[in-house]
Amino acid sequence: IKYVPEPFRIKMVETIKMTTSEERAEKIKEANYNLFNLRGEDVYIDLLTDSGTNAMSQDQWAGVMRGDEAYAGASSYFKLVNTAKDIFGYEFIQPVHQGRAAEKVLFPTFLKSGQYAISNMFFDTTRAHVILAGARPLDCVVPEAKDPGKRSKFKGNMDVEKMEKLIQEYGPEKIGLVVLTITNNSAGGQPVSMKNAREVAAICKKYNIPLNIDAARYAENAYFIKRDEPECANMSIKDIIKEMFSYADFFTMSAKKDTIVNMGGLIGVKNAVENADMILKIKANCISFEGFTTYGGLSGRDLEALAIGLLEGIDENFLRYRIGQMEYLASRLDDAGIIYQSPVGGHGVFVDASKIFPNIPFNEFPGQVLAIELYKEAGIRSCDIGSYMLGNDPDTNEQLEADFEFTRLAIPRRVYTQAHLDVIADALIAIKERAHEITRGYRITWEPPILRHFQASLEII
């Protein structure tokens, strides 16, 4: 397929280091085969995450200079809040320093011990904040999400039948919150349809359960809706977003993704009058954990860049190019017979490493094997989204087997060119060709009790 040309030109560049394969073999060994231990400067193409790694525009950088650093009531705060109110149609907007801060401030206001929260799939920190609030998370994604090779649209959707069964089984009073994650990161950046959001909202209303959107990649999600959901084909991206958010009561957002800034987050409340008490609690938590309500843990310059990024991130030409990058990379993998979560999602390609290394068992971490090989092959940093990341059963301490053994190639926004994408595809193809030579994976020699993948040490078996 054709690469969609960049709707921008390059004004400032950042030199990246080229390394030899001998140097990389040495560096990854020194890093105990954990890519989080590598220095950024030793990486050629960094696909560890699309979060906070995006390139800001000249307007955003100009905004950084204009940022108002007043402690209270800065003009940058009002600019941000007014822009967000206009895009989402929500009456109350609270800035915070990143997505997990939004979760930390908002979730304890709904959830308490003995309750449950249901999601199409919780992101790790979202899951953690449900647990920290004393409740338990229940994932409820449509079954086709678990089959990477099966191409079906809107694989990020909530399984609404299962959701309603769960509510009846546990009792509606036990379900403190429903979280709709758009796009569904853990399932491969897969979108949620407008129809699905409407159905989820109807069930929440029927049982009187609040609905929160985890909005990290809401603009990419809106683009997929416009492209693939006929009833929305003639709507603008902005109208799609407004309708989608009208179905929920609240949103939490990591602005480090679709809002194209390096740091920031938001909380939104749709009805300010109805939720007046809730807003008081949000403000109180924000002041305790983040900072005064009109800066929420951000500098004035961050608020300003975020206000501008909100608008740049929903530009249809930008989104066409952005999703076009994923489609281009995915089409090169199709040509080479490399299986990934398909059709490709919004923020990266999730390669099915278990298909490249069919003989490496889950407890030798095929996703991590592929991530290490990509670094050795071409200096590309990616990460395992599989059994290595999942970890051990907290009760028995046995290694758990994940639903997927993915290696995630997350693409930062406005950062890499078509030639970089070709380097990535060529590296994957080269690894696939020599994959039969790699028959064993890795063993963990040290690990912390939780979120081990960030810090663990590994060795070759």
Is the Cβ of residue 180 or residue 438 nearer to ligand F0G in the bound state? 180
Q: Decide: is 265 part of the binding site for ligand F0G (CB under 6 A).
A: yes
Beta strand 265-269 with 250-254: parallel, antiparallel or unpaired?
A: antiparallel
Minimum Å gap between C-beta 239 and ligand F0G is: 23
Residue 451 burial (C-beta neighbours within 10 Å; 0-12, 13-18, 19+): middle
Specify whether 29 is catalytic.
no
Residue 371 and residue 357: Cα distance in Å, rounded?
Answer: 12
Q: Decide: is 129 part of the binding site for ligand F0G (CB under 6 A).
A: no
Compute the radius of gyration of the chain from its Cα atoms: 22
Residue 304 and residue 102: Cα distance in Å, rounded?
Answer: 19
Stretch that binds ligand F0G, among 123-131, 306-314, 334-342, 395-403 (CB under 6 A): 123-131
Among 19, 34, 35, 51, binds ligand F0G (CB under 6 A): 51
Size of interface with ligand F0G, in residues (CB under 6 A) = 15
Specify whether 112 is catalytic.
no
Q: Decide: is 100 part of the binding site for ligand F0G (CB under 6 A).
A: yes
Minimum Å gap between C-beta 216 and ligand F0G is: 4
Which three-class secondary structure state does DSSP give residue 459? strand
Contacts (Cβ under 8 Å, ≥6 apart) of 430? 377
Minimum Å gap between C-beta 260 and ligand F0G is: 13
- Of 121, 282, 304, the C-alpha closest to 217 is 121
Contacts (Cβ under 8 Å, ≥6 apart) of 288? none
Q: For residue 381, how many other CB atoms are within 10 A of its CB?
A: 22
Q: Decide: is 181 part of the binding site for ligand F0G (CB under 6 A).
A: yes
* Annotated active-site residue in 216, 222, 305, 435: 216
Specify whether 216 is catalytic.
yes
Query: Cα 250 vs. chain centroid, distance in angstroms?
Result: 18
- What separation, in Å, do the N-terminal and C-terminal C-alpha atoms of the chain show? 40
Q: Which residue has the tokens 């300010």?
A: 272
Specify whether 79 is catalytic.
no
Contact 186, 121 (CB under 8 A): yes
Stretch that binds ligand F0G, among 29-37, 72-80, 95-103, 437-445 (CB under 6 A): 95-103
* Annotated active-site residue in 155, 257, 270, 432: 257
Among 185, 193, 196, 407, binds ligand F0G (CB under 6 A): 185
Q: Decide: is 190 part of the binding site for ligand F0G (CB under 6 A).
A: no
Interface residues for ligand F0G in 421-440 (CB under 6 A)?
Answer: none
List contacts with ligand F0G (CB under 6 A).
49, 51, 98-100, 123, 125-126, 181, 185, 214, 216, 254, 256, 265
Point out the residues that are catalytic: 71, 123-124, 214, 216, 257, 453
